[in-house]
Amino acid sequence: MKKISILLLFITSILSAQKKEFKYSLSGIEKVVLASGTKIVLTAGNTSELVLTDNKKVRKNHSAHENHQKEKADKRKGLTAVYPNGRDNSNGFGFSITKEDAILYVTDLKSMYQRSGINLTLPKSINISVNAGSLGSVSLEGFTGEVEVATNTGKIEMKNVTGPITANTSVGEINVDFDKVSQTSPITISSSVSEIDVAIPANTKADLELRTQGTVYTNFDFDTPKKKGLPNVSGNKSINSKLNNGGVKIYIKSSMGNIYLRKK
């Protein structure tokens, strides 16, 4: 019985930690621009709203945590939070939401020390631009629109995307798994230090440029660069080739890390 009670308390803690939610209608919005310095998880859904959830860490001592939160709420009663980067208009959620024409700007007003990560659900076809700041990371799945992601030290992970994709990080790893590759705009994926791992369908039409001081590993068959009929075996750290007679430009660059290009 004691074990069951502990389990119920644990489940209650999880539900309590995830129940805070903010929704915003995306009617007329074509692009969402998000800035937050925490762990960002984006999920594509059959929705016409932005659904934002702040996932807090589950506390071991639930009662003590609740009491602490109640004390904090009592101290804030009658007062309004003020942030340097804007006004909280997300019902106390700590975000500034502003609209300019068909673009929605979503700015996290809290520091990374005040959050344990955020989850967003957005329409799968909407265009997205995400900046995770100095220490944040980005994970997203299932989007068919244009995706732009920037981090500094954090990892970038994308699954079941179509592009166009622009992903850039200074230190973090990048893993991108394409469901298919859009031919509408170039794809650029770059990391200054770490490895880049990209998987694309075998029938993808592409003009490839792979540039690294490390090593390129692939199971695609493409020609190495040649000059006057001879293969270039040194002095050139860039590989240019075509997949399936050429198509959209795919540029992958890691200054120091290896590049993995996988056939699906």
Q: pLDDT by residue (tens digit) across 69-110? A: 677 667 777 777 778 878 888 888 889 999 999 999 999 998
Lowest average pLDDT, out of 21-25, 141-145, 191-195, 221-225, goes to 221-225
**Average pLDDT, stretch 30-53?**
93
**Average pLDDT, stretch 140-151?**
96
DSSP state of 170: S
Backbone φ and ψ for 257, nearest 5 degrees, come out as: -90, 165
Report the DSSP beta bridge partners of residue 213: none
Give, in degrees to the nearest 5, the angle at Cα 238 between 191 and 147: 40
Q: What is the pLDDT of residue 14?
A: 43
Q: What is d(CA 15, CA 55) in angstroms, rounded to the nearest whole number?
A: 10
Asked if residue 93 lies in contact with residue 52, where contact means CB atoms within 8 angstroms, the answer is yes
Asked if residue 116 lies in contact with residue 56, where contact means CB atoms within 8 angstroms, the answer is yes
Q: Which residue has the tokens 């859904």?
A: 45
Predicted confidence (pLDDT) per residue in 101-138, tens digit = 999 999 999 887 778 889 999 999 999 999 999 899 99
DSSP state of 1: -
Q: What is d(CA 187, CA 165) in angstroms, rounded to the nearest whole number?
A: 5
Lookup: tokens for 6? 């502990």
Q: Of 174, 167, 253, whose CA–CA distance to 208 is shortest? A: 253
Q: What is d(CA 220, CA 7) in angstroms, rounded to the nearest whole number?
A: 50
pLDDT of residue 189 exceeding 80, the answer is yes
Asked if residue 186 lies in contact with residue 203, where contact means CB atoms within 8 angstroms, the answer is no
The size of the chain, in residues, is 264
Asked if residue 251 lies in contact with residue 259, where contact means CB atoms within 8 angstroms, the answer is no
Q: What is the pLDDT of residue 156?
A: 97
Lookup: tokens for 47? 């929705």
Q: What is the pLDDT of residue 16?
A: 43
In this structure, the number of other CB atoms found within 10 A of the CB of residue 82 comes to: 9
Q: What is the pLDDT of residue 112?
A: 76
**40: region left, alpha or beta (phi > 0 left; psi from -120 to 50 alpha):** beta
Q: What is the pLDDT of residue 238?
A: 85
